[in-house]
Every structure is written in C-alpha cells, then in structure tokens.
Structure 1
C-alpha cells in the first residue's frame, strides 16, 4: 500500500485502468472507517491526534489540534506542520495534496479542495487534481473554500465565506466570491 501512497504524494495519479486502482479504493475505504471513528463520540485531544495520524499517515506534533467532525476521503496526501489548528466541520479533498505549514489556523466549516472535474460533459467523470499549499501562520476563515492549485501565502488571512481561486500573496487579506485582495496585513 505504501507504494500507492508514495506515488500519489509525488503527484502521480492512479486512474481506474491502473492495476493499483483496487488497492487505492481499499485505502479510501479504510480512511472512511477512520473518519467515522473520529467523528463518533468524544475523543481526548491525544485520541483525536492519534486518529489523524492514521488518517494522514504521518506523525503529528503534540501542538496540532482539531475539533471534529472532520471529513476526508483519502487523507494520505495531507501534510501538517506544528501548531496547526483545525476547527469543527472542515472538509479536505486531498488527492492532489494538501500542505498546512506551521501555525496555520482553519476556521469552522472551511473546505480545502484539490480535486475537480473537467468542464466537458463527456470527460466530467474524470478526476483532475492540483495541490493546495497553506503557508506559515495563514488563517482560513469560517466557511471559506480553497480551490485546487491555490497557494495561500505566509501570514495571509482568507475571510469567512471567501472562495479562493487564485494564489494569495503573503501578508494580505482576501475576501469575496471569487476572493480578491482587500489590503495588506496591519503591522
């Protein structure tokens, strides 16, 4: 199974015709079971972190905090730094790869999406993926959506409800649908 995960972490897609596709489906089912376990009943912060380590396939620093519920279908291409906080009800579609650097805050109900589909109806069943990177100390507001291929810059703030379709420069505040730069961060 590790070879599938490493292929995906390196940006290689596994299509339905790939001989490893059934193993990828098994991994997705395993992740779904872990997500249900995470979202059912009370868990201490250490128990939440232990489940996330299994979902994300990486050891997490003791400073990482999350308030379930949390939703993801794959998990193994999410990378999380230190002092990351993820609030209630977030969704990560991560087959394209999600990186949360140190000190990132994610507000309640935020969505980070690395997966999308072609516009053309005949091709729409295909999955297209692009990575999302959230740089150090960035803050993603409640209900914001970060779309495939976006990098949110260091110290940036994405306002609540924003839909981010383009990269966000360091030290800026963005808001709206689609998100636009409002101003630089106050010193």
Structure 2
C-alpha cells in the first residue's frame, strides 16, 4: 500500500471507526466484531457478538458515508449476533426487547431491523417512550439482500433468502426465497 493509500485509509476509515467507538455508550457489550466500517453501539441493554463477525464491506456502497447503528434501548433489551455473520454498510438495529441473528448470516447494505413500532400507533400515546415490541429472530444461514426492512415479531427460518428491497412484516419459513412489500414466499430452495 502506497503512502497516499495509507493516508486515505487513516483519514477516511480508521479515524471514522475510532470516532464512533468513542461516541458509543452501550456498556454491556460482549465480543468484538471485525470493523471495516464505523459502528455506533447505544443503549442500556446487552449486545453480544459471536466469533468472526464482520461489520462493513470496503467495495460496497456507503463505505465512505454513514455508520452501522445498534441500539439495545432498555436494560432488558438484548441484541445477539452469532458467529461468522457478515453485515454490509449502513445497517441498523433498534431493539426494545430482543433481536437474535444466528450463525452464518449475510446481511446486505442499507438494511434495518426493528423489534418495535418506534412510537405508539394510538394518537394519544405517540409521545410515550415505550412502544409495543416483539422479538425478531433470524435463523442460521439466512441471506438478507440490500435495503431490506425487518419488522417486529418476525422470525426468518434457517437457510432462507430475503430479496432486495423487501419489507418483512410476517414470519418467513425455512428454506425459501421471499421478496416484496410485504415479503411473500416466491419459491422453495
């Protein structure tokens, strides 16, 4: 690597990764992912990383923009990421109860997982801080395409594939390809 490449790496990657490590305030983190992209960890809950978790992809969109965001909002909130998981750039998890990602999962760029509505749907309760939440579970060997949103209460069965741009609002069985808004099974694997 030449001098210019080293300077570019230091200024546009290494410093950004260190900045978001400094800004992170989640104190209950176990495991250490391999960072190729900035990661911001927030909240009072627990965040677990298995072995060989990769955050960020160098040759992918958003590499020089944004960051990965994971929030385990409350003391009882828990994000659990298994081993050999690869997460592309611009990914976020907002967790009020529990989000589980099992081993060998691939997640495309610009994906979001939320185990809650963000705010109450009832007009009179929208400013309350504890919206309805249901756990999200992603099974082993799942491949999630780019720009996918996974909503509260969803289970994605092992080995399944979720197509780009899908909104997953209901459970997806194992060994299928699902896509669309809302995501529906297209075919078996």
Answer whether TM exceeds 0.5 for this pair.
yes
How many Å separate the matches in 1 of 2:41 and 2:90?
A: 18
Query: Could you say which residue in structure 2 is the equivalent of 1:65?
Result: 54
Matches within 5 A, 1:158-173: 158-173=162-177
Query: Which structure has greater strand proportion?
Result: 2
Matches within 5 A, 1:106-185: 106-116=107-117, 117-126=119-128, 127-185=131-189
What are the Cα deviations for residues 93-148 of structure 1, in whole angstroms up to 9, with x where unaligned? 11221101011111100111111133220122341111100000001110000000
How many Å separate the matches in 2 of 1:48 and 1:130?
A: 31
2:24 to 28, 34, 37: 34
Q: How far has the Cα of 1:74 moved from its partner?
A: 2.6
Matches within 5 A, 1:48-127: 57-58=47-48, 60-61=50-51, 63-67=52-56, 69-74=67-72, 77-116=78-117, 117-126=119-128, 127=131
Q: Is the 8 A contact 1:65 1:84 kept in 2?
A: yes
Q: Is the 8 A contact 2:50 2:81 kept in 1?
A: yes
2:124 match: secondary structure: helix
TM-score under structure 1 length normalisation: 0.68
Aligned length: 145
Q: How far has the Cα of 1:84 moved from its partner?
A: 0.6
How many Å separate the matches in 1 of 2:162 and 2:36?
A: 26
Query: Could you say which residue in structure 1 is the equivalent of 2:28?
Result: none
Query: Unpaired segments of 5 or more residues in structure 1?
Result: 1-30, 36-44
How many Å separate the matches in 2 of 1:80 and 1:112?
A: 13
How much is the aligned-residue C-alpha RMSD, in angstroms?
2.9
Q: 1:57 to 1:112 in 2, by over 3 A?
A: closer
Q: Which moved more, 1:121-130 or 1:132-141?
A: 121-130
Q: How far has the Cα of 1:58 moved from its partner?
A: 3.1
Query: Which structure has greater helix proportion?
Result: 1
